[in-house]
Structure 1
């Protein structure tokens, strides 16, 4: 089965094999593996030793996002969230339920937020201390570029939380060039092609240590994660981790480096996305985004106007042909989304395009323009 979702992604056999062991996470033989993972992740983020620290947390991307909001923004504090996609909507809810004041900056989910829009919102409200941005919107496939947003936030003297959950490892991030970024967030089961179960924050140490008393939660306090590492060592996890997933993640990082790191991973994903985008257009389907706004992680496609199309039967027909995609959508109009990430080659993506065409034929879908 070819798994074409934006996470958990298809993984290499070597990565999955690393799960098949029993490990004590506190054992001295495992500590160097975990400490090395923290160092390697910081390097991928462009972080600097002594300036940035890797602070993992058990769980999914929503968990690490909530931890960042709680840690860096005090209760009652105010943050700006460009609301141009489903995961930005979720960030608004997370922040609101954490007791933070949200200033939403509404926008369509078909284009990135602009620097001018961010600048105007910050100028209008000096009480905003942070901007929280979703780097890659997993519902639509659109990218909010920190190279555009970061300089504006820095010039206004504010701070940036970068939710790069579905982009990190493919889209570049260089923390050393962005002192305005308090933290970049991601998870193990996306573009680094590990197994799910671990959220990562690569954070400025000075911002973390200034956050005492903010979190209002022991479990979701990144300062406590940092203090535990300082006290117990960087090979020590604060609470019981998904240790087999950590071991597999170490293997995934080995494979990432062997492939050529971020530039090579991005190049492969971009080629996958190009083949898919051009392929669905060739089948008469309508991509959700214009080519200039299309990112490399997923391609979202309008559902066809043909009344014989329905999402779940299409997913089932595609699965019967060996390709599994998501059976839901996160856009304001009916779509389906296909992941371009994971241990997938361009040749496999060409096969997926053929399978999409075959599944539509199986359903008798001839009117393929947008509904």
Structure 2
């Protein structure tokens, strides 16, 4: 099955094979594996030894993002959240549920937020201490520019939390170049092509040390994750981790390096997205984003306004042809999204486009362009 969703992604056979072992996470043979993962992840994030630390947590992207919010933002403080997509809206809910105050910066889900919009919002509300920005909007495929937004946050003297869950490892971001950023957060099962189950924050050590007692939670306290590592070693997890997934992630990082790292992975994903974007146009479908706003992680497509089209039927027809995509829409207008990440090649993406054409023909959908 060709898995084309934005996470968990299709993985390399070597990564999957690494799961086939029983592991004691506290065993002295496993601790160096975990410690090495933390060091290598910090390097991918452009972190500096002694200035930045990798702080993992069991669970999905929402878990590690909530942990970052709770750790770095005091209770009751204001957070500016650009909401130009479903995941910005979810981030705003995380802020509210954590007892912090949301200042939403709404925008259409068809273009990135601009630095001018962020700068204006910060200028008009001196109480805003943090900006939480979604790097890649996984609903539509928009990429919000961290260089431009980070510069605006830095100029205003505020702090940044970067949700790079579906972008990290492919889209460039360097903690060393963003002193305004408290943490960048991401997960194992997206662009780094590991198995799902682990969230990571690469965070500024000085900020972690300043934020003791903010979290209001033991499980979601990155300060506690850091101090545990100081006490027990960088190969020690606080609570029982997904050890097999960590072992597989170590292999995924090996493969990442073997491919050529961030630039090589971005190049492959970019070509996947180009093949898909051109392919859906060739099928008479309309991509959700203008090409200038299209990121390399997913391509979202307007659903055909045809009485025979139903998203679940389309998904089922594709699955019967060996291609699996998401069966829900996250955009303001009805759409379907196709992932371009994971252990997938441009040739396989061309095969997926052919399968889409066959699925639409089987459904009797021949007039396809959305209004």
Normalised-by-shorter TM-score class: over 0.9
Give secondary structure in 2 for the equivalent of 1:238.
coil
Give secondary structure in 2 for the equivalent of 1:10.
coil
Query: 2-side partners of 1:68 and 1:178: how far apart?
Result: 16
Partner of 2:350: 350
RMSD: 0.5
State the Cα deviation string for residues 147-176 of structure 1 (Å, max 9, x = none): 110011001000000000000000011111
Deviation at 1:218, TM superposition (A): 0.2
State the Cα deviation string for residues 256-301 of structure 1 (Å, max 9, x = none): 0000000000000000000000000010000000000000000000
Instruction: Using structure 2 for the length normalisation, give the TM-score.
Output: 1.00
Query: 2-side partners of 1:243 and 1:287: how far apart?
Result: 40
Give secondary structure in 2 for the equivalent of 1:362.
helix
Deviation at 1:212, TM superposition (A): 1.0
Query: 1-side partners of 2:97 and 2:192: how far apart?
Result: 30
Query: 2-side partners of 1:184 and 1:26: how far apart?
Result: 27
Residue pairs, 1:115-130, within 5 angstroms: 115-130=115-130
Partner of 1:288: 288
Superposed structure 1 runs of 4+ greater than 2 Å apart: none
Query: 1-side partners of 2:362 and 2:133: how far apart?
Result: 41
Deviation at 1:341, TM superposition (A): 0.2
Give secondary structure in 1 for the equivalent of 2:365.
coil
Unpaired segments ≥5 residues, structure 2: none
Deviation at 1:42, TM superposition (A): 0.3
Query: 2-side partners of 1:307 and 1:125: how far apart?
Result: 48
Partner of 2:54: 54
Residue pairs, 1:67-82, within 5 angstroms: 67-82=67-82
Deviation at 1:69, TM superposition (A): 0.5
Query: 2-side partners of 1:230 and 1:147: how far apart?
Result: 32
Deviation at 1:305, TM superposition (A): 1.0
1:146 aligns with 2:155: no
Partner of 1:244: 244
Deviation at 1:115, TM superposition (A): 0.5
State the Cα deviation string for residues 292-338 of structure 1 (Å, max 9, x = none): 00000000000001110000000000001110000001101110000
1:172 aligns with 2:168: no
Partner of 1:106: 106
Residue pairs, 1:118-267, within 5 angstroms: 118-267=118-267
Give secondary structure in 2 for the equivalent of 1:87.
helix
Query: 2-side partners of 1:108 and 1:209: how far apart?
Result: 37
State the Cα deviation string for residues 86-122 of structure 1 (Å, max 9, x = none): 0010011111011101100000011000000000000
Deviation at 1:213, TM superposition (A): 1.1
Give secondary structure in 1 for the equivalent of 2:79.
strand
1:330 aligns with 2:305: no
Partner of 1:301: 301
Deviation at 1:76, TM superposition (A): 0.3
State the Cα deviation string for residues 183-227 of structure 1 (Å, max 9, x = none): 000000000000000000000001111001100000000000000
Unpaired segments ≥5 residues, structure 1: none
State the Cα deviation string for residues 221-276 of structure 1 (Å, max 9, x = none): 00000000011000001100000000000000000000000000000000000000
